[in-house]
Amino acid sequence: MDILKIDRSFISGTDTPKENAEIVRSIVDMAHSLGLRVTAEGVETQEQLDRLQSINCDRAQGYMFSKPMIPEDAGEMIRTAILEGGSN
C-alpha cells in the first residue's frame, strides 16, 4: 500500500465545517509521515482543489476533472491530452 484515499464525504464537507478541513489536513500529514501519497476523492470546485493543494495533498479526482466514463473513452481522452500537450 502506497496511496491513501480520502473519501469524498470529507472533501465535500470542507466547504462549510471547519472540523472536516482539519480532519483532511491531519489525514494528509499522517499519510505523508508514513510515506504514503494521498488522493482526495470528490473534488468538484476550484476552491476545494486550492485548499487541498495548500495542504500538500498529492492528487485529486472528481467531477471537476471529468465525469465517470468507460475505459475506452478514458483512453481516448488521455491520448488526446498527450497529443495536445506534446504539440506545445
What are the boundaries of each domain within the chain?
3-85
Q: What is the pLDDT of residue 16?
A: 57
Q: How far is CA 50 from CA 13, 56, 72, 76, in A?
A: 15, 10, 30, 28
Give the whole-angstrom CA distance, residue 14 versus residue 10.
Answer: 6
Residue type at 10 in one-letter notation: F
Q: What is the pLDDT of residue 20?
A: 85
Residue 13 clears pLDDT 80, i.e. is over it? no
Residue 88 clears pLDDT 80, i.e. is over it? no
> Which is higher by pLDDT, 17 or 19?
19
Cell numbers at 54, concatenated: 495548500
Q: What is the pLDDT of residue 41?
A: 95
> Which pairing describes strands 3-6 and 37-40: parallel, antiparallel, or unpaired?
parallel
Q: Report pLDDT digits (tens) over 24-54.
A: 999 999 999 999 999 999 999 999 999 999 9
- Please give the mean pLDDT across all residues of the chain: 89
Percent of the chain with pLDDT over 90: 64
